[in-house]
């Protein structure tokens, strides 16, 4: 029986074009206490159903008929959207990983991950934590740095001085932002600063609002542009 003040279960949708795999993932997540609100087997169906049921987390394959997974992600993770996307793909190719992140995915697991790893990844994705199969996090952070370098060079050419007026962040917000830029998870940041996971999330949300950014990908790029990952 659910406690009166208990948080409602996370709403999850599973998208994969292989019915047996899709059903197995949905069963594992439902058994772990998630509310599996929908499944889909192709790209257009995924977009329609996700817009209708509005899950918290979309577990998404990349190789879909009708519409590629990255395009599904791009369409659903619009400005202001609360949806988080965890890619679950057979591919561990670097190009696929980077394309998924650029399209708005919060995390990326390969299908060799075990059930418990997937369950933990869904929970962390819902919290906004970037989740990557071991070995891929460094790749993504490297790409952030490359993109940030290009963006910084473009801004410098446009302004002539390479600097921009930045909104004021508190000392703790700057500290959290620096650790985000280093690739630490919210849990690791909370342990490092001896604060709660929720407090870390609140600082990140406040910082996103002040900087008028939409997600953690943009936040990391902002921090790296200003050299906060080197501190």
What does the pLDDT average to over 212-227? 73
> In the chain, pLDDT over 90 holds for what percent of residues?
37
Candidate from 48-52, 125-129, 220-224 with smallest mean pLDDT: 220-224
**Mean pLDDT of all residues belonging to the chain:** 82
What does the pLDDT average to over 3-7? 64
- Predicted confidence (pLDDT) at residue 190 exceeds the cutoff of 60: yes
Q: Say which DSSP state 216 is in.
A: H
What are the pLDDT digits (tens) for 70-107?
999 999 987 567 899 999 999 888 888 888 888 888 88
Residue 7 main-chain phi, psi, to 5 deg: -65, 145
Give CA separation, 31 vs 9, 27, 35, 229, in Å. 12, 6, 9, 39
The predicted structure's pLDDT at residue 4: 57
- Predicted confidence (pLDDT) at residue 163 exceeds the cutoff of 50: no
What are the pLDDT digits (tens) for 122-156?
998 998 887 887 766 666 666 666 655 555 555 54
Candidate from 7-11, 108-112, 125-129 with smallest mean pLDDT: 125-129
Token pair recorded at residue 171 = 């000392």
The predicted structure's pLDDT at residue 168: 80
The predicted structure's pLDDT at residue 178: 84
Q: Is the Cα dihedral 227, 104, 95, 189 positive or negative?
A: positive
What does the pLDDT average to over 22-46? 96
The predicted structure's pLDDT at residue 162: 44
The predicted structure's pLDDT at residue 161: 44
What does the pLDDT average to over 27-39? 97
What does the pLDDT average to over 54-82? 90
The predicted structure's pLDDT at residue 17: 95
The predicted structure's pLDDT at residue 173: 87
Higher pLDDT, 64 or 96: 64
Nearest in space to 185 (alpha carbons), one of 108, 129, 123: 129
- Predicted confidence (pLDDT) at residue 160 exceeds the cutoff of 60: no
Rg (CA), the chain: 18
What does the pLDDT average to over 172-200? 84
Cα within 13 Å of Cα(126), Cβ side? 17
């Amino acid at each position: 029986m659910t406690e009166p003040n208990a948080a409602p279960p996370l709403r999850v949708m599973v998208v994969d074009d292989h019915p047996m795999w899709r059903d197995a993932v949905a069963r594992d997540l439902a058994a772990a206490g998630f509310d599996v609100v929908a499944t889909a087997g192709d790209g257009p169906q995924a977009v329609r159903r996700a817009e209708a049921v509005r899950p918290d987390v979309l577990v998404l394959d990349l190789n879909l008929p009708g519409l590629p997974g990255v395009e599904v992600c791009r369409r659903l993770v619009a400005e202001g959207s609360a949806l988080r996307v965890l890619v679950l793909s057979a591919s561990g190719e670097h190009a696929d990983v980077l394309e998924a992140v650029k399209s708005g995915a919060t995390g990326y697991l390969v299908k060799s991950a075990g059930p418990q790893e997937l369950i933990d990844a869904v929970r962390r994705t819902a919290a906004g934590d970037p989740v990557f199969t071991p070995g891929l996090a460094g790749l993504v952070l490297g790409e952030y740095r490359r993109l940030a370098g290009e963006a910084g060079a473009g801004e410098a050419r446009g302004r002539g001085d390479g600097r921009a007026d930045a909104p004021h962040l508190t000392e703790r917000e700057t500290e959290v932002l620096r650790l985000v830029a280093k690739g630490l998870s919210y849990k690791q940041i909370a342990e490092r600063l001896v604060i709660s996971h929720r407090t870390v999330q609140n600082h990140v949300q406040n910082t996103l609002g002040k900087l008028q950014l939409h997600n953690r990908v943009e936040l990391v790029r902002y921090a790296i542009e200003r050299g906060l990952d080197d501190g």
